[in-house]
Amino acid sequence: MMLIVTSTGSVSKRLIDAVEREFPWVLVEQVESVSAGCRAFAHPVALILVDVALVQEAEAAAAMLARVHPQALAAVIEPYDKMQATSFSAVADSALFRSVLPMDMRLDIWLSIIRLMLCGGEYLPPGSVVGARAGEPGPSMPAHNGVSSGPRKAESSVAELTARELQILEMVSRGLQNKLIAAGLGLSEHTVKIHLHNIIRKLGVHNRTEAAARFRNARNGNVLFD
């Protein structure tokens, strides 16, 4: 089940209908306050989407939400009219939120992010740098290609990638395109694209070519898992 907490209508009925068509096994419940979401529902909640305007209220109820929905991932909804820095800051300072869901994406990409979150994955828009926990620079705005033009994390290494991200990056390094990677791994092309965005963000590179070069260098130097 997916729980949407918003009093501003950030997620329209059209989007909810699209989610239910794409994931017919997922029930969507929408409430207007965090307190209304702090209760048990008929089905376990896998994903909680909270409007950025209600983040502080959700943080105050974090313990209750975790107790009532122990398996749920929580994400901040980033409405069209909000600055990215607001959402990124909410995630950087949060013990509850680990993801940001932008609302200005194409529907197919947006649904791929929902799929990733429903499976327990985390998502931050390419170009975001949420480093407040480590004292790193704050968020930078993405370039037009969806990749950050701001500060790069020079210390980022291939070793920071997940097993799935390493698998995809290895296939990219062999010259495979998203369609072939998706077919080989049993994923959708859009899910592969989301993983690639996260890989590029983690490595602090500009594109897949640079990411593949970083992978080859790490493999040749046997430093993948330092």
pLDDT tens-digit readout, 34-75: 999 999 998 899 999 998 888 889 989 999 998 999 888 899
Residue 151: inside a domain: no
Residue 147: inside a domain: no
pLDDT tens-digit readout, 77-102: 887 655 455 556 666 667 788 888 88
**What b-and-e string marks burial along 116-127, b requiring 16 or more CB atoms within 10 Å of the CB?**
bbbeebebbbbb
Residues 114 and 178 in one domain: no
Residues 63 and 12 in one domain: yes
pLDDT tens-digit readout, 176-201: 888 889 888 888 888 888 888 888 88
CB 124 within 8 A of CB 85: no
Q: How far apart, in whole angstroms, are the C-alpha atoms of residue 33 and residue 6?
A: 7
Q: How many structural domains does the chain have?
A: 2
Domain boundaries, position 203:
158-220
